[in-house]
């Protein structure tokens, strides 16, 4: 109860401050009433969904996600507006104090707020507000195919031109539009890649979340097969279970379901992709994450059947694994494929100009291709969404990587 009281006090204070900008910017009371009504409805729905309306055992239900999304949009609007008001209020306070101390006025008084700054603050605050709403309405299904060509001197000749499709972070428990997912599945198959690699987080928490989508994902095709690894959410660690046995049964059910959908799930093990006398080692580890995330991945066990001379592709859900264990390893892992970060589902990307998201402060490798000591990693931005039920700027990604033999001359 105390946390909700604190939340309401902070939320009301932010709302009251923002209201001052509206009063300065417009003389029409209806604009202020609309803001108050919207703020009250959003806060009320958020509190309801996370208290009375909470579904037992589901920490990330769709109603809760949308309640959080709308609250995030409103608070982003409030905070940016307040940044403008607060900076002006400091100036007003200093100006009032100066005039009183210098004797220009007999009483301390603050200059009026400038309408221009309030309008500017509200206009700028409307941008992330609109972006977050757009991300919930359309952005979360704005699937993009991103293509990369990777050149290697030691790529086996038979694999020159070999094409990989990578998807990651499906989070099927968040889906709410079947037609959009059907479109995405067709888009993946249109790439006609040699192999399909899925790098973890098929569900939010429970295997049952994937069952309504089983038929669709079973339609995914690739000439040399479909391979997968587990992500941190696949273990069911983020909800309360009736018993350890129930949690274990859920994980086993997810493993069985992946097999039924045609995925070869790699659990700290490897496979070989063969073309004539040439081969590529495909290695898959369970989740290994830095900063409190599950460390079930065992790279040493996974590479047991692989030699140093093999060309190696590693599937590891969390990109922090790359710097912590993969790069320092005595083996050279030519290409690591990860996901996990989602690019925080919000940011700005203009190819060749800017790539930014707040998640960069948490993960050094958070989206796209990175290189270190001759080894490469691709961090997929994710297929689905989690928490905030949308995406803006960091769109859902289908990665297509073409391997090429690099000329020695």
Q: Residue ranges of the domains in the chain?
A: 2-137, 140-405
In this structure, whether the domain defined by 140-405 belongs to CATH 3.40.50.11890 is answered with no
Q: What is the Cα–Cα distance from 236 to 203, expressed in whole angstroms?
A: 9
pLDDT mean across residues, the chain: 92
pLDDT given for residue 103 in this prediction: 58
If phi over 0 gives left and psi between -120 and 50 gives alpha, with beta otherwise, what is residue 265?
beta
pLDDT reported for residue 107? 60
Bridging pattern class, strands 397-405 and 162-167: antiparallel
**Could you give the CA distance from residue 380 to residue 250 in angstroms, rounded to a whole number?**
26
Sequence-distant (6+) residues with CB within 8 A of 61 are 49, 54, 55
Q: How far apart are CA 405 and CA 334, in angstroms?
A: 13
301 vs 311: CA distance, rounded Å:
18
pLDDT attached to residue 283? 98
Within 13 Å, how many C-alpha atoms sit on residue 294's CB side? 19
Q: Say if residue 117's pLDDT is above 90.
A: no
Average of per-residue pLDDT across 329-357: 95
For residue 378, the cross-strand partners are 337, 369
Closest CA to 380 of 75, 102, 77, 165: 165
Kindly report, residue by residue over 159-209, the tens digit of the pLDDT: 999 999 999 999 999 999 999 999 999 999 999 999 999 999 999 999 999
Strand-pairing partners, residue 228, are 198, 265
Give the pLDDT of residue 97: 59
CA distance 336 to 316: 7
Pick from 169, 224, 215: which is nearest to 196 by CA?
Answer: 224
> Side-chain half-sphere of 237: how many Cα atoms within 13 Å?
13
The torsion angles phi and psi of 57, rounded to 5 degrees, stand at: 80, 0
Nearest Cα neighbor of 311 from 340, 275, 346, 351 is 275
Distance, in Å, from the CA atom of 126 to the CA atom of 2, rounded to the nearest integer, reads: 31
Model confidence, pTM: 0.91
Distances (CA, A) of 67 to 31, 94, 170, 252, 323: 23, 40, 21, 32, 36
Tell me the torsion sign for CA atoms 155, 158, 163, 167: negative
Q: Which of 71-80, 113-122, 321-330, 342-351 has the lowest mean pLDDT?
A: 113-122
Of 13-17, 88-92, 233-237, 238-242, give the lowest mean pLDDT range: 88-92
pLDDT at 113: 64
Tell me what pLDDT residue 59 has.
66
- What's the token pair of residue 50? 């996370």
Give the confidence band of 235 by pLDDT, cuts at 50, 70, 90. very high
pLDDT digits (tens, 9 = 90+) for 58-77: 567 888 999 999 999 999 99
- CB contact at 8 A, 333 and 355: no
């Amino acid at each position: 109860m105390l946390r909700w009281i604190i939340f309401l006090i902070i939320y009301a204070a932010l709302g009251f401050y923002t209201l001052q900008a509206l009063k300065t910017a417009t003389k029409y009371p209806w604009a202020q009433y609309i803001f108050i009504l919207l703020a009250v409805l959003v806060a009320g729905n958020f509190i309801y969904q996370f208290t009375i309306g909470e579904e037992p055992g589901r920490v990330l239900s769709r109603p809760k996600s949308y309640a959080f999304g709308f609250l995030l949009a409103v608070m982003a609007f409030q905070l940016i507006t307040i940044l403008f008001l607060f900076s002006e209020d400091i100036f007003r306070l200093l100006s009032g104090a100066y005039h009183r101390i210098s004797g220009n006025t007999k009483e301390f008084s603050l200059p009026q707020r400038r309408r221009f700054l309030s309008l500017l603050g509200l206009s700028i605050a409307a941008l992330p507000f609109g972006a977050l709403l757009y991300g919930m309405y359309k952005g979360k299904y704005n699937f993009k195919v991103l293509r990369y060509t990777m050149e290697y001197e030691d790529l086996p000749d038979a694999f020159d031109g070999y094409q990989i499709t990578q998807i990651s972070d499906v989070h099927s428990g968040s889906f709410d539009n079947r037609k959009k997912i059907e479109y995405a599945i067709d888009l993946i198959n249109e790439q006609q890649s040699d192999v399909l690699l899925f790098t973890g987080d098929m569900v939010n928490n429970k295997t049952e979340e994937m069952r309504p989508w089983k038929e669709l994902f079973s339609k995914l095709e690739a000439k040399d097969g479909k391979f997968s690894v587990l992500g941190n959410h696949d273990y069911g660690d983020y909800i309360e279970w009736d018993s350890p046995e129930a949690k274990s049964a859920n994980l086993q059910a997810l493993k069985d379901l992946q097999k039924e959908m045609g995925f070869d799930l790699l659990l700290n093990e490897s496979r070989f992709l063969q073309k004539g006398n040439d081969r590529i080692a495909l290695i898959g580890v369970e989740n290994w994450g830095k900063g409190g995330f599950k460390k079930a991945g065992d790279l040493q066990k996974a590479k047991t059947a692989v030699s140093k001379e093999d060309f190696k592709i590693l599937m590891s859900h969390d990109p922090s694994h790359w710097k912590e264990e993969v790069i320092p390893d005595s083996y050279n892992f030519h290409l690591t494929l990860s996901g996990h970060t989602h690019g925080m589902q919000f940011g700005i990307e203009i190819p060749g100009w800017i790539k930014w998201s707040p998640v960069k402060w948490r993960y050094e490798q958070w989206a796209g291709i990175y290189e270190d000591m001759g080894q490469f990693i691709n961090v997929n931005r994710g297929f689905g969404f989690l928490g905030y039920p949308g995406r803006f700027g960091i769109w859902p990604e289908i990665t297509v990587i073409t391997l090429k033999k690099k000329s020695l001359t």
